[in-house]
Amino acid sequence: MDPDHPQRLRQQTILAKFGELALQSDDLDEILTEACRLVGQALGTDLAKVVELQSDGKTLLVRAGVGWKDGVVGVATIDAAGDSSEGYALKSGEPMISPDVAKETRFKYADFLIDNGARAVANVIIIGGKDRAAFGILQIDSRTPRDFSEEDVSFLRGYANLLAAAVDRLRVLHDLRGSSTRLRLALDVGELGTFEVDVETGQTTRSSRFETIFGVAPDFDRSWNALLERVLVQDRGAVAEAMRISLLNESELRVECQVLHTDDSSIRWIELRGRPESQKNRLIGIVADITERKHAERSLVAANETLESQVSDRTESLATSNAQLDSFAYTVSHDLRAPLRAMEGFARILLDDHTEGLGAEGQRYANRIVGAAKRMEVLIDDLLAFSRVQRADVAMQVVDPARSIERAIADLRASGMGDAGVTVDVDPSFPPVRADRTIFAQVMNNLVANAAKFRRRNQVVHIVVRAEEQDGWVRLWVEDDGIGIAPDHQVRIFNVFERLHGQESYPGTGVGLAIVKAGIERMGGTYGVESALNQGSRFWIELRSASFVAPDASN
Protein backbone atom coordinates (compact mmCIF):
# COMPACT_ATOMS: atom_id res chain seq x y z
CA MET A 1 0.00 0.00 0.00
CA ASP A 2 1.11 3.48 -0.74
CA PRO A 3 2.73 4.95 2.38
CA ASP A 4 0.79 8.13 1.76
CA HIS A 5 -2.52 6.28 1.78
CA PRO A 6 -4.89 8.00 4.24
CA GLN A 7 -5.32 4.87 6.41
CA ARG A 8 -1.58 4.34 6.55
CA LEU A 9 -1.13 7.94 7.56
CA ARG A 10 -3.75 7.58 10.28
CA GLN A 11 -2.00 4.50 11.60
CA GLN A 12 1.35 6.31 11.70
CA THR A 13 -0.18 9.25 13.52
CA ILE A 14 -1.77 6.93 16.03
CA LEU A 15 1.51 5.08 16.53
CA ALA A 16 3.23 8.40 17.30
CA LYS A 17 0.42 9.48 19.62
CA PHE A 18 0.59 6.25 21.52
CA GLY A 19 4.39 6.50 21.72
CA GLU A 20 4.03 9.88 23.40
CA LEU A 21 1.50 8.62 25.94
CA ALA A 22 3.51 5.50 26.67
CA LEU A 23 6.46 7.66 27.66
CA GLN A 24 4.47 10.06 29.81
CA SER A 25 2.19 7.83 31.84
CA ASP A 26 3.22 5.72 34.82
CA ASP A 27 -0.16 4.02 34.93
CA LEU A 28 -0.13 0.65 33.19
CA ASP A 29 -3.91 0.30 33.03
CA GLU A 30 -4.20 3.74 31.46
CA ILE A 31 -1.58 2.86 28.85
CA LEU A 32 -3.18 -0.49 28.00
CA THR A 33 -6.71 0.94 27.70
CA GLU A 34 -5.50 3.81 25.56
CA ALA A 35 -3.58 1.30 23.42
CA CYS A 36 -6.84 -0.59 22.84
CA ARG A 37 -8.76 2.59 22.03
CA LEU A 38 -6.15 3.86 19.58
CA VAL A 39 -5.62 0.52 17.84
CA GLY A 40 -9.40 0.31 17.35
CA GLN A 41 -9.32 3.76 15.77
CA ALA A 42 -6.42 2.81 13.53
CA LEU A 43 -8.12 -0.34 12.26
CA GLY A 44 -11.70 0.97 12.31
CA THR A 45 -13.06 -1.37 14.95
CA ASP A 46 -14.56 -0.64 18.38
CA LEU A 47 -13.50 -3.96 19.99
CA ALA A 48 -9.93 -4.47 21.26
CA LYS A 49 -8.29 -5.81 24.38
CA VAL A 50 -5.02 -6.75 26.02
CA VAL A 51 -4.85 -10.17 27.69
CA GLU A 52 -2.09 -10.61 30.28
CA LEU A 53 -0.25 -13.88 30.85
CA GLN A 54 -0.56 -14.81 34.53
CA SER A 55 2.24 -16.15 36.70
CA ASP A 56 1.02 -19.76 36.19
CA GLY A 57 2.21 -19.38 32.57
CA LYS A 58 -1.04 -20.67 31.07
CA THR A 59 -3.91 -18.36 32.05
CA LEU A 60 -4.57 -15.15 30.14
CA LEU A 61 -6.58 -12.48 31.96
CA VAL A 62 -8.38 -9.70 30.09
CA ARG A 63 -6.37 -6.89 31.65
CA ALA A 64 -7.72 -3.93 29.59
CA GLY A 65 -10.05 -3.35 26.66
CA VAL A 66 -12.62 -1.21 24.88
CA GLY A 67 -16.05 -2.09 23.56
CA TRP A 68 -16.67 -5.02 25.94
CA LYS A 69 -19.73 -5.65 28.10
CA ASP A 70 -19.37 -5.60 31.89
CA GLY A 71 -17.78 -8.67 33.41
CA VAL A 72 -15.05 -9.04 30.77
CA VAL A 73 -12.24 -6.56 31.56
CA GLY A 74 -10.45 -7.61 34.73
CA VAL A 75 -12.56 -10.77 35.00
CA ALA A 76 -12.63 -13.00 31.91
CA THR A 77 -9.81 -15.49 31.37
CA ILE A 78 -8.62 -17.60 28.43
CA ASP A 79 -6.75 -20.88 28.76
CA ALA A 80 -3.50 -20.38 26.83
CA ALA A 81 -2.66 -24.06 27.16
CA GLY A 82 -5.68 -25.27 25.12
CA ASP A 83 -6.27 -24.85 21.39
CA SER A 84 -6.95 -21.11 21.64
CA SER A 85 -5.58 -18.80 18.97
CA GLU A 86 -4.24 -16.60 21.83
CA GLY A 87 -2.22 -19.51 23.20
CA TYR A 88 -0.95 -20.29 19.75
CA ALA A 89 0.11 -16.69 19.12
CA LEU A 90 1.90 -16.74 22.48
CA LYS A 91 3.75 -19.97 21.77
CA SER A 92 4.71 -19.19 18.16
CA GLY A 93 5.27 -15.45 18.57
CA GLU A 94 3.46 -15.08 15.22
CA PRO A 95 0.24 -13.07 14.65
CA MET A 96 -2.84 -15.31 14.56
CA ILE A 97 -5.70 -14.12 12.39
CA SER A 98 -9.24 -15.52 12.13
CA PRO A 99 -11.07 -13.57 9.38
CA ASP A 100 -14.34 -15.29 10.32
CA VAL A 101 -14.70 -16.88 13.73
CA ALA A 102 -17.79 -18.81 12.61
CA LYS A 103 -15.75 -20.58 9.92
CA GLU A 104 -12.65 -21.10 12.07
CA THR A 105 -11.57 -24.74 12.27
CA ARG A 106 -8.11 -24.42 13.85
CA PHE A 107 -8.99 -22.68 17.10
CA LYS A 108 -11.68 -22.47 19.70
CA TYR A 109 -12.67 -19.02 20.86
CA ALA A 110 -13.86 -18.18 24.39
CA ASP A 111 -17.62 -17.86 24.88
CA PHE A 112 -17.41 -14.26 26.09
CA LEU A 113 -15.83 -13.31 22.77
CA ILE A 114 -18.78 -14.66 20.77
CA ASP A 115 -21.27 -13.21 23.33
CA ASN A 116 -19.75 -9.79 22.77
CA GLY A 117 -20.24 -10.12 19.02
CA ALA A 118 -16.67 -10.67 17.87
CA ARG A 119 -16.71 -12.18 14.39
CA ALA A 120 -13.10 -11.66 13.27
CA VAL A 121 -9.97 -11.69 15.46
CA ALA A 122 -6.29 -10.71 15.12
CA ASN A 123 -3.83 -11.69 17.92
CA VAL A 124 -0.36 -10.20 18.22
CA ILE A 125 2.12 -11.08 20.97
CA ILE A 126 3.32 -8.40 23.41
CA ILE A 127 6.82 -9.65 24.14
CA GLY A 128 8.47 -9.35 27.58
CA GLY A 129 11.56 -7.30 28.30
CA LYS A 130 15.04 -8.73 28.84
CA ASP A 131 14.84 -12.10 30.63
CA ARG A 132 11.09 -11.78 31.07
CA ALA A 133 8.23 -13.96 29.79
CA ALA A 134 5.82 -12.42 27.24
CA PHE A 135 3.44 -9.91 28.78
CA GLY A 136 0.44 -11.21 26.80
CA ILE A 137 -1.55 -10.59 23.63
CA LEU A 138 -2.94 -7.54 21.93
CA GLN A 139 -6.24 -8.63 20.42
CA ILE A 140 -8.25 -6.69 17.84
CA ASP A 141 -11.78 -7.91 17.24
CA SER A 142 -14.24 -6.96 14.59
CA ARG A 143 -18.00 -7.29 14.81
CA THR A 144 -18.11 -8.36 11.17
CA PRO A 145 -15.94 -10.87 9.36
CA ARG A 146 -12.96 -9.10 7.87
CA ASP A 147 -9.59 -9.71 6.30
CA PHE A 148 -6.65 -8.10 8.08
CA SER A 149 -4.34 -6.94 5.30
CA GLU A 150 -0.58 -7.42 5.38
CA GLU A 151 -0.24 -3.71 6.18
CA ASP A 152 -2.69 -4.09 9.05
CA VAL A 153 -0.71 -6.99 10.45
CA SER A 154 2.62 -5.22 10.12
CA PHE A 155 1.11 -2.13 11.74
CA LEU A 156 -0.15 -4.36 14.57
CA ARG A 157 3.28 -5.91 15.06
CA GLY A 158 4.92 -2.50 15.35
CA TYR A 159 2.19 -1.28 17.63
CA ALA A 160 2.49 -4.36 19.89
CA ASN A 161 6.26 -3.89 20.07
CA LEU A 162 5.83 -0.29 21.12
CA LEU A 163 3.34 -1.44 23.72
CA ALA A 164 5.83 -4.10 24.89
CA ALA A 165 8.50 -1.42 25.34
CA ALA A 166 6.07 0.75 27.30
CA VAL A 167 5.07 -2.18 29.53
CA ASP A 168 8.71 -3.08 30.12
CA ARG A 169 9.55 0.50 31.01
CA LEU A 170 6.80 0.44 33.63
CA ARG A 171 7.91 -2.91 34.99
CA VAL A 172 11.49 -1.65 35.41
CA LEU A 173 10.14 1.53 36.98
CA HIS A 174 8.05 -0.57 39.31
CA ASP A 175 11.02 -2.73 40.29
CA LEU A 176 13.12 0.37 40.87
CA ARG A 177 10.42 1.92 43.02
CA GLY A 178 10.21 -1.34 44.97
CA SER A 179 13.91 -1.39 45.63
CA SER A 180 14.03 2.27 46.52
CA THR A 181 11.12 1.71 48.93
CA ARG A 182 12.99 -1.21 50.43
CA LEU A 183 16.14 0.90 50.69
CA ARG A 184 14.21 3.69 52.39
CA LEU A 185 12.70 1.18 54.77
CA ALA A 186 16.13 -0.24 55.59
CA LEU A 187 17.48 3.26 56.20
CA ASP A 188 14.48 4.08 58.40
CA VAL A 189 14.68 0.89 60.41
CA GLY A 190 18.41 1.27 60.78
CA GLU A 191 17.96 4.96 61.64
CA LEU A 192 20.55 5.90 59.08
CA GLY A 193 21.00 9.19 57.28
CA THR A 194 22.51 9.37 53.79
CA PHE A 195 24.91 11.86 52.27
CA GLU A 196 26.84 12.48 49.09
CA VAL A 197 29.94 14.60 48.64
CA ASP A 198 30.84 16.03 45.25
CA VAL A 199 34.60 15.51 45.28
CA GLU A 200 35.28 18.40 42.90
CA THR A 201 33.14 21.10 44.45
CA GLY A 202 33.13 19.79 48.04
CA GLN A 203 29.37 20.32 48.14
CA THR A 204 27.15 17.83 49.94
CA THR A 205 23.68 16.45 49.34
CA ARG A 206 22.09 15.09 52.55
CA SER A 207 18.94 13.33 53.65
CA SER A 208 16.93 15.00 56.38
CA ARG A 209 17.81 12.19 58.79
CA PHE A 210 21.48 12.93 58.10
CA GLU A 211 20.88 16.50 59.22
CA THR A 212 19.04 15.33 62.36
CA ILE A 213 21.85 12.95 63.28
CA PHE A 214 24.57 15.46 62.47
CA GLY A 215 22.64 18.14 64.34
CA VAL A 216 22.47 20.76 61.59
CA ALA A 217 19.46 22.64 60.19
CA PRO A 218 18.23 21.91 56.62
CA ASP A 219 19.54 25.29 55.45
CA PHE A 220 22.98 24.68 56.98
CA ASP A 221 25.95 25.36 54.68
CA ARG A 222 26.15 22.58 52.06
CA SER A 223 29.94 22.32 51.97
CA TRP A 224 31.75 19.33 53.47
CA ASN A 225 34.20 21.66 55.21
CA ALA A 226 31.35 23.44 57.00
CA LEU A 227 30.10 20.05 58.24
CA LEU A 228 33.61 19.19 59.38
CA GLU A 229 33.54 22.34 61.53
CA ARG A 230 30.70 20.78 63.54
CA VAL A 231 32.94 17.82 64.47
CA LEU A 232 34.56 18.30 67.89
CA VAL A 233 38.07 19.62 67.48
CA GLN A 234 39.70 16.52 69.01
CA ASP A 235 38.11 14.28 66.33
CA ARG A 236 38.24 16.64 63.36
CA GLY A 237 41.74 15.66 62.20
CA ALA A 238 40.82 11.96 62.24
CA VAL A 239 37.70 12.56 60.11
CA ALA A 240 39.54 14.72 57.56
CA GLU A 241 42.31 12.13 57.34
CA ALA A 242 39.86 9.23 56.96
CA MET A 243 38.16 11.09 54.10
CA ARG A 244 41.50 11.86 52.42
CA ILE A 245 42.65 8.21 52.61
CA SER A 246 39.29 6.92 51.39
CA LEU A 247 39.37 9.17 48.30
CA LEU A 248 43.04 8.51 47.64
CA ASN A 249 42.81 4.71 47.86
CA GLU A 250 39.20 4.43 46.74
CA SER A 251 38.65 2.51 49.96
CA GLU A 252 35.77 2.43 52.38
CA LEU A 253 35.37 5.44 54.64
CA ARG A 254 34.64 4.48 58.21
CA VAL A 255 35.15 6.88 61.06
CA GLU A 256 33.62 7.64 64.45
CA CYS A 257 33.53 11.13 65.85
CA GLN A 258 31.66 13.48 68.14
CA VAL A 259 29.56 16.34 66.78
CA LEU A 260 28.07 19.36 68.46
CA HIS A 261 24.35 19.67 67.81
CA THR A 262 23.51 23.29 67.07
CA ASP A 263 19.95 23.23 68.43
CA ASP A 264 20.51 21.95 71.98
CA SER A 265 24.35 22.09 72.22
CA SER A 266 24.39 18.37 73.01
CA ILE A 267 27.36 16.29 71.96
CA ARG A 268 26.55 13.11 70.05
CA TRP A 269 28.75 10.28 68.84
CA ILE A 270 28.25 9.48 65.14
CA GLU A 271 29.68 6.99 62.70
CA LEU A 272 30.28 7.98 59.07
CA ARG A 273 30.62 5.23 56.48
CA GLY A 274 31.00 5.79 52.79
CA ARG A 275 32.38 4.63 49.47
CA PRO A 276 34.02 6.78 46.80
CA GLU A 277 32.70 6.45 43.25
CA SER A 278 35.55 7.79 41.18
CA GLN A 279 33.71 7.69 37.82
CA LYS A 280 31.07 9.95 39.23
CA ASN A 281 33.57 11.99 41.21
CA ARG A 282 31.61 11.58 44.38
CA LEU A 283 31.54 9.78 47.72
CA ILE A 284 28.24 8.42 48.93
CA GLY A 285 27.68 7.33 52.48
CA ILE A 286 25.55 6.88 55.52
CA VAL A 287 25.61 8.28 59.03
CA ALA A 288 24.44 6.60 62.24
CA ASP A 289 24.02 7.94 65.77
CA ILE A 290 26.17 5.68 67.94
CA THR A 291 25.94 7.67 71.18
CA GLU A 292 24.12 4.90 73.08
CA ARG A 293 26.64 2.30 71.94
CA LYS A 294 29.55 4.54 72.94
CA HIS A 295 28.05 5.13 76.39
CA ALA A 296 27.45 1.41 76.80
CA GLU A 297 31.06 0.72 75.79
CA ARG A 298 32.28 3.25 78.31
CA SER A 299 30.14 1.79 81.10
CA LEU A 300 31.51 -1.61 80.20
CA VAL A 301 35.09 -0.38 80.42
CA ALA A 302 34.29 1.29 83.77
CA ALA A 303 32.57 -1.87 85.03
CA ASN A 304 35.59 -3.92 83.95
CA GLU A 305 37.93 -1.59 85.77
CA THR A 306 35.82 -1.82 88.94
CA LEU A 307 35.72 -5.57 88.59
CA GLU A 308 39.47 -5.74 88.13
CA SER A 309 40.09 -3.61 91.18
CA GLN A 310 37.60 -5.69 93.18
CA VAL A 311 39.32 -8.88 92.07
CA SER A 312 42.71 -7.50 93.00
CA ASP A 313 41.33 -6.38 96.41
CA ARG A 314 39.86 -9.80 96.96
CA THR A 315 43.06 -11.51 95.85
CA GLU A 316 44.99 -9.33 98.26
CA SER A 317 42.62 -10.06 101.13
CA LEU A 318 42.70 -13.74 100.21
CA ALA A 319 46.49 -13.63 100.28
CA THR A 320 46.28 -11.95 103.70
CA SER A 321 43.88 -14.55 105.04
CA ASN A 322 46.02 -17.33 103.57
CA ALA A 323 49.00 -15.83 105.31
CA GLN A 324 46.96 -15.66 108.51
CA LEU A 325 45.96 -19.28 108.04
CA ASP A 326 49.61 -20.17 107.55
CA SER A 327 50.54 -18.53 110.78
CA PHE A 328 47.52 -20.19 112.44
CA ALA A 329 48.68 -23.56 111.19
CA TYR A 330 52.16 -22.79 112.48
CA THR A 331 50.74 -21.77 115.87
CA VAL A 332 48.65 -24.92 116.01
CA SER A 333 51.53 -27.15 115.13
CA HIS A 334 54.12 -25.60 117.40
CA ASP A 335 52.57 -23.50 120.13
CA LEU A 336 49.64 -25.80 120.80
CA ARG A 337 51.66 -28.94 120.59
CA ALA A 338 54.22 -27.84 123.22
CA PRO A 339 51.70 -27.46 126.12
CA LEU A 340 50.00 -30.64 124.91
CA ARG A 341 53.26 -32.56 125.16
CA ALA A 342 53.88 -31.00 128.57
CA MET A 343 50.44 -32.16 129.73
CA GLU A 344 50.98 -35.65 128.44
CA GLY A 345 54.57 -35.77 129.81
CA PHE A 346 53.58 -34.60 133.29
CA ALA A 347 50.64 -36.99 133.40
CA ARG A 348 53.02 -39.84 132.50
CA ILE A 349 55.48 -38.74 135.24
CA LEU A 350 52.61 -38.77 137.70
CA LEU A 351 51.65 -42.25 136.56
CA ASP A 352 55.21 -43.61 136.56
CA ASP A 353 56.67 -41.96 139.63
CA HIS A 354 53.75 -41.14 141.85
CA THR A 355 51.56 -44.16 141.46
CA GLU A 356 50.97 -44.61 145.11
CA GLY A 357 50.26 -40.98 145.93
CA LEU A 358 47.72 -40.79 143.13
CA GLY A 359 45.63 -43.63 144.28
CA ALA A 360 43.32 -45.56 141.92
CA GLU A 361 41.12 -42.59 141.03
CA GLY A 362 44.10 -40.27 140.46
CA GLN A 363 45.61 -42.84 138.10
CA ARG A 364 42.37 -43.08 136.15
CA TYR A 365 42.32 -39.30 135.70
CA ALA A 366 46.00 -39.19 134.73
CA ASN A 367 45.38 -41.92 132.14
CA ARG A 368 42.48 -39.95 130.72
CA ILE A 369 44.72 -36.88 130.45
CA VAL A 370 47.24 -38.95 128.47
CA GLY A 371 44.46 -40.34 126.21
CA ALA A 372 42.91 -36.90 125.60
CA ALA A 373 46.33 -35.39 124.83
CA LYS A 374 46.99 -38.15 122.28
CA ARG A 375 43.64 -37.61 120.56
CA MET A 376 44.31 -33.90 120.49
CA GLU A 377 47.66 -34.55 118.85
CA VAL A 378 46.05 -36.74 116.17
CA LEU A 379 43.42 -34.06 115.58
CA ILE A 380 46.11 -31.38 115.17
CA ASP A 381 48.05 -33.62 112.76
CA ASP A 382 44.94 -34.30 110.70
CA LEU A 383 43.93 -30.64 110.59
CA LEU A 384 47.41 -29.65 109.47
CA ALA A 385 47.32 -32.34 106.79
CA PHE A 386 43.93 -31.04 105.64
CA SER A 387 45.10 -27.42 105.49
CA ARG A 388 48.20 -28.51 103.56
CA VAL A 389 46.11 -30.36 100.96
CA GLN A 390 43.92 -27.32 100.55
CA ARG A 391 46.72 -24.88 100.01
CA ALA A 392 49.91 -26.67 98.98
CA ASP A 393 51.17 -26.26 95.44
CA VAL A 394 49.92 -29.07 93.24
CA ALA A 395 52.67 -30.67 91.13
CA MET A 396 50.91 -32.90 88.59
CA GLN A 397 53.03 -35.75 87.28
CA VAL A 398 52.72 -39.33 86.11
CA VAL A 399 52.07 -41.46 89.18
CA ASP A 400 51.93 -45.26 89.37
CA PRO A 401 48.98 -45.94 91.73
CA ALA A 402 50.38 -49.40 92.63
CA ARG A 403 53.24 -47.91 94.63
CA SER A 404 51.05 -45.58 96.68
CA ILE A 405 48.59 -48.39 97.33
CA GLU A 406 51.35 -50.78 98.45
CA ARG A 407 52.66 -48.12 100.82
CA ALA A 408 49.18 -47.44 102.16
CA ILE A 409 48.76 -51.15 102.93
CA ALA A 410 52.19 -51.30 104.51
CA ASP A 411 51.30 -48.29 106.68
CA LEU A 412 48.07 -50.01 107.62
CA ARG A 413 49.90 -53.13 108.72
CA ALA A 414 52.47 -51.09 110.62
CA SER A 415 49.77 -49.20 112.49
CA GLY A 416 48.45 -52.52 113.76
CA MET A 417 45.08 -51.97 112.10
CA GLY A 418 45.65 -54.26 109.18
CA ASP A 419 45.98 -57.34 111.39
CA ALA A 420 44.53 -60.78 110.81
CA GLY A 421 41.04 -59.23 110.52
CA VAL A 422 41.91 -57.64 107.17
CA THR A 423 42.59 -59.21 103.78
CA VAL A 424 43.52 -57.07 100.81
CA ASP A 425 43.27 -57.95 97.10
CA VAL A 426 45.07 -55.55 94.83
CA ASP A 427 44.56 -55.41 91.08
CA PRO A 428 47.85 -56.58 89.56
CA SER A 429 47.93 -53.79 87.00
CA PHE A 430 47.06 -50.16 87.46
CA PRO A 431 47.16 -47.66 84.59
CA PRO A 432 49.38 -44.70 85.50
CA VAL A 433 47.51 -41.48 86.33
CA ARG A 434 48.22 -37.76 86.38
CA ALA A 435 48.36 -36.68 89.99
CA ASP A 436 50.31 -34.92 92.69
CA ARG A 437 52.31 -37.72 94.27
CA THR A 438 51.97 -36.54 97.90
CA ILE A 439 48.25 -35.77 97.70
CA PHE A 440 47.55 -39.02 95.87
CA ALA A 441 49.33 -40.99 98.63
CA GLN A 442 47.30 -39.17 101.31
CA VAL A 443 44.05 -39.96 99.49
CA MET A 444 44.85 -43.65 99.12
CA ASN A 445 46.02 -43.88 102.78
CA ASN A 446 42.72 -42.51 104.02
CA LEU A 447 40.56 -44.73 101.81
CA VAL A 448 42.47 -47.92 102.63
CA ALA A 449 42.57 -47.08 106.37
CA ASN A 450 38.82 -46.41 106.44
CA ALA A 451 38.07 -49.66 104.60
CA ALA A 452 40.01 -51.55 107.27
CA LYS A 453 38.58 -49.54 110.15
CA PHE A 454 34.84 -49.60 109.51
CA ARG A 455 34.34 -53.33 109.78
CA ARG A 456 31.99 -55.39 111.92
CA ARG A 457 33.35 -56.41 115.31
CA ASN A 458 35.03 -59.81 115.21
CA GLN A 459 34.66 -60.18 111.47
CA VAL A 460 37.29 -60.28 108.81
CA VAL A 461 37.00 -57.47 106.26
CA HIS A 462 37.93 -58.05 102.63
CA ILE A 463 39.33 -55.07 100.81
CA VAL A 464 39.64 -54.95 97.04
CA VAL A 465 41.59 -52.21 95.27
CA ARG A 466 41.08 -52.17 91.52
CA ALA A 467 41.06 -49.84 88.52
CA GLU A 468 38.99 -49.13 85.40
CA GLU A 469 40.10 -47.00 82.47
CA GLN A 470 37.66 -45.25 80.13
CA ASP A 471 37.75 -42.22 77.83
CA GLY A 472 41.05 -40.94 79.16
CA TRP A 473 40.06 -41.31 82.82
CA VAL A 474 41.17 -43.88 85.39
CA ARG A 475 38.71 -44.80 88.12
CA LEU A 476 40.25 -46.41 91.22
CA TRP A 477 37.97 -48.38 93.50
CA VAL A 478 38.60 -49.15 97.20
CA GLU A 479 35.91 -51.64 98.13
CA ASP A 480 35.20 -53.29 101.46
CA ASP A 481 32.53 -55.59 102.87
CA GLY A 482 32.34 -53.67 106.15
CA ILE A 483 29.52 -51.85 107.92
CA GLY A 484 28.45 -49.76 104.91
CA ILE A 485 26.96 -46.28 104.90
CA ALA A 486 23.27 -45.35 104.69
CA PRO A 487 22.52 -43.39 101.46
CA ASP A 488 21.44 -40.28 103.45
CA HIS A 489 24.95 -39.84 104.84
CA GLN A 490 26.97 -40.51 101.75
CA VAL A 491 27.43 -36.87 100.77
CA ARG A 492 28.08 -35.28 104.15
CA ILE A 493 30.80 -37.74 105.24
CA PHE A 494 33.15 -35.92 102.83
CA ASN A 495 32.81 -32.74 104.93
CA VAL A 496 35.38 -32.00 107.59
CA PHE A 497 34.53 -33.38 111.10
CA GLU A 498 31.54 -35.36 109.81
CA ARG A 499 31.50 -38.75 111.50
CA LEU A 500 28.75 -41.32 111.86
CA HIS A 501 30.13 -43.13 114.92
CA GLY A 502 31.35 -42.50 118.44
CA GLN A 503 35.05 -42.62 119.41
CA GLU A 504 34.52 -45.80 121.42
CA SER A 505 33.31 -47.91 118.50
CA TYR A 506 35.41 -46.33 115.73
CA PRO A 507 38.06 -43.78 116.73
CA GLY A 508 38.81 -40.97 114.31
CA THR A 509 38.76 -37.22 113.68
CA GLY A 510 36.35 -36.92 110.72
CA VAL A 511 39.06 -35.32 108.56
CA GLY A 512 40.12 -38.25 106.37
CA LEU A 513 37.42 -38.05 103.71
CA ALA A 514 37.61 -34.21 103.71
CA ILE A 515 41.27 -34.68 102.69
CA VAL A 516 40.14 -37.10 99.93
CA LYS A 517 37.61 -34.56 98.63
CA ALA A 518 39.93 -31.52 98.73
CA GLY A 519 42.85 -33.50 97.30
CA ILE A 520 40.91 -34.98 94.37
CA GLU A 521 39.30 -31.63 93.54
CA ARG A 522 42.68 -29.94 93.53
CA MET A 523 43.95 -32.55 91.07
CA GLY A 524 40.96 -31.94 88.77
CA GLY A 525 39.37 -35.31 89.46
CA THR A 526 36.08 -36.59 90.87
CA TYR A 527 35.17 -38.89 93.72
CA GLY A 528 32.21 -40.75 95.20
CA VAL A 529 30.91 -43.72 97.10
CA GLU A 530 28.46 -46.51 96.44
CA SER A 531 27.17 -48.14 99.59
CA ALA A 532 24.23 -49.27 101.70
CA LEU A 533 24.05 -49.98 105.41
CA ASN A 534 25.61 -53.37 106.24
CA GLN A 535 26.44 -53.96 102.58
CA GLY A 536 30.03 -52.77 102.48
CA SER A 537 31.30 -49.57 100.78
CA ARG A 538 32.82 -48.96 97.39
CA PHE A 539 34.70 -45.64 97.38
CA TRP A 540 36.04 -44.41 94.04
CA ILE A 541 38.22 -41.63 92.78
CA GLU A 542 38.73 -40.68 89.14
CA LEU A 543 41.82 -39.00 87.68
CA ARG A 544 43.13 -38.34 84.21
CA SER A 545 44.96 -41.27 82.69
CA ALA A 546 48.67 -40.53 82.10
CA SER A 547 48.18 -41.60 78.47
CA PHE A 548 45.47 -39.00 77.91
CA VAL A 549 46.50 -36.34 75.41
CA ALA A 550 44.45 -33.13 75.59
CA PRO A 551 42.97 -32.24 72.19
CA ASP A 552 44.98 -29.48 70.58
CA ALA A 553 42.97 -26.28 70.98
CA SER A 554 44.41 -24.89 67.73
CA ASN A 555 42.78 -27.64 65.64
| DSSP H stretches of helix in 331-400 | 337-353, 355-391
- Give the residue with the Cβ less far from ligand ADP, 22 or 412: 412
Helix (H) or strand (E) holding 528: strand 526-531
Cα distance between residue 369 and residue 340, in whole Å:
10
The SS3 assignment for 238 reads helix
- Of residues 148 and 494, the one with the C-beta less far from ligand ADP: 494
Nearest distance in Å: CB 545, ligand ADP? 25
Nearer to ligand ADP, 136 or 512 (CB): 512
Closer Cβ to ligand ADP, 205 or 503, answer by number: 503
Which of 365, 497 has the CB closer to ligand ADP? 497
Q: Is 530 helix (H, G, I), strand (E, B) or coil?
A: strand
Residue 136 to residues 54, 112, 184, 545, Cα–Cα distance (Å) = 9, 18, 33, 78
Rounded to a whole number of angstroms, the minimum distance from the CB of residue 494 to ligand ADP is 7
**Closer to ligand ADP at the Cβ: 493 or 518?**
493
Q: Are 543 and 435 in contact, with CB atoms under 8 Å apart?
A: yes
Phi first, then psi: give them for residue 396, nearest 5 degrees: -75, 135
514 close to 379: Cβ distance less than 8 angstroms: no
Nearer to ligand ADP (CB atom), residue 193 or residue 482: 482
C-beta of 84 vs 509, nearer to ligand ADP: 509
Nearer to ligand ADP, 116 or 446 (CB): 446
- Nearest partner of 120 among 12, 5, 43, 64, judged by Cα: 43
Could you tell me the smallest distance in angstroms from the CB atom of residue 348 to ligand ADP? 25
| H helical segments located in 230-336 | 233-249, 291-330
Max CA-CA distance within the chain? Answer: 161
- Closest to ligand ADP by CB, 259 or 485: 485
Residue 185 identity (one-letter amino acid): L
Tell me the closest approach of the beta carbon of residue 539 to ligand ADP, in angstroms: 6
| Cα 327 to Cα 320: distance, rounded to the nearest angstrom | 11
Write down how long the chain is.
555
Least separation, in Å, of the C-beta of 400 and ligand ADP? Answer: 24
| Cα–Cα distance measured from residue 166 to residue 28, given in angstroms and rounded to the nearest whole number | 9
* Smallest separation, CB 543 to ligand ADP (Å): 19
CB of 380 to ligand ADP, least distance (A): 14
Output the smallest distance, CB 452 to ligand ADP, in A: 8
Pair 435, 507: CB distance under 8 Å: no
CA 480 to centroid of chain Cα atoms: 50
Cβ 514 to ligand ADP shortest distance, Å: 6
Angle between helix 6-24 and 150-189 (nearest 10): 0
Please choose, from the candidates 77, 82, 129, 85, the residue with its C-alpha nearest in 3D space to the C-alpha of residue 106: 85
Residue 398 Cβ vs ligand ADP, minimum distance, rounded to whole Å = 27
Contact assessment for residue 148 and residue 122, using Cβ atoms and an 8 Å cutoff: yes
276: alpha, beta or left? (left if phi > 0; alpha if psi -120 to 50)? beta
Which DSSP string do the residues of 49-75 spell out, in sequence order? EEEEE-TTSSEEEEEEEESPPTTSTTT
Minimum separation from the CB atom of position 376 to ligand ADP (A): 14
Strands 253-260 and 267-277: antiparallel
If the CB atoms of residues 362 and 510 are measured against ligand ADP, the closer one turns out to be 510
What is the SS3 assignment for 48? strand
Q: How far is the CB of 506 from ligand ADP (least distance, A)?
A: 6
Instruction: Write out the residues near ligand ADP by the rule CB under 6 A.
Output: 446, 450-451, 454, 480, 482-483, 485, 493, 498-501, 508-514, 537
Residue pair 511/497 in contact (Cβ under 8 Å)? The answer is yes
Per the CB < 8 A criterion, the answer to whether 18 and 162 are in contact is yes
Least Å distance between CB 479 and ligand ADP? 9
Which residue number, 122 or 514, has a Cβ lying nearer to ligand ADP? Answer: 514
CB-wise, 55 or 458, nearer to ligand ADP? 458
